């Protein structure tokens, strides 16, 4: 299934003189479709300014789309999931190491830093569940 994020849009304005040589060229690329439509008035405005600047020259306006480059939303989501899993493992390992090396009179569960780490683990696990849901 094609996604709206699989393509990016571009908008070009080219000014040509009598000999068909390019005098000025304006280009915007990497636009999402909603931005391309939102700022369509601006692109037309810039073309009109060039028409005023070069009244006897030909103004070519063209736009289109091309395949998007970079990460897709699925790849971004997968990397977030992988990062959360790694963070959960890291925190669990540190908590286990702290439990194993605890040598104080009072239990480790009463320690402020341990409680803070446990709450961080719960928060990261909650974020992981939200991403995977």
- 10-residue averages of pLDDT along the chain (133 residues): 71 94 92 90 96 95 84 79 95 93 88 93 94 86
Do 97 and 45 reside in the same domain of the chain?
no
* Element of type H or E holding 61: strand 58-67
Last residue of a domain, one of 67, 88, 108: 67
Last residue of a domain, one of 47, 67, 87: 67
pLDDT of 82: 95
pLDDT of 51: 96
Token pair recorded at residue 63: 């736009």
Do 63 and 77 reside in the same domain of the chain?
no
CA angle 49, 36, 74 (to 5 degrees): 155
pLDDT of 4: 60
Last residue of a domain, one of 34, 51, 67: 67
Phi, psi dihedrals of residue 126, rounded to the nearest 5°: -65, -45
Token pair recorded at residue 125: 């696990």
Tell me the pairing of strands 7-16 and 22-31: antiparallel
pLDDT of 1: 47
Count Cα atoms within 13 angstroms, Cβ side, for 122: 6
Token pair recorded at residue 42: 């601006």
Domain of 34 in residue numbering reads as 4-67
């Amino acid at each position: 299934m094609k996604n709206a994020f699989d393509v990016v849009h571009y908008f070009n304005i080219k000014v040509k003189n009598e000999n068909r040589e390019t005098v000025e060229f304006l280009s915007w690329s990497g636009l999402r479709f909603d931005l391309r439509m939102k700022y369509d008035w601006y692109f037309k405005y810039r073309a009109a300014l060039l028409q005023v600047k070069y009244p006897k020259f030909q103004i070519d306006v063209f736009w289109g789309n091309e395949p998007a480059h970079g990460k897709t939303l699925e790849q971004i989501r997968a990397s977030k999931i992988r990062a959360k899993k790694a963070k959960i493992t890291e925190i669990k390992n540190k908590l286990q190491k702290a439990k194993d090396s605890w040598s104080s009179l009072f239990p480790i569960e009463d320690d402020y830093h341990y409680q803070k780490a446990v709450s961080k683990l719960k928060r990261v696990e909650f974020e992981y569940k939200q991403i995977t849901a």
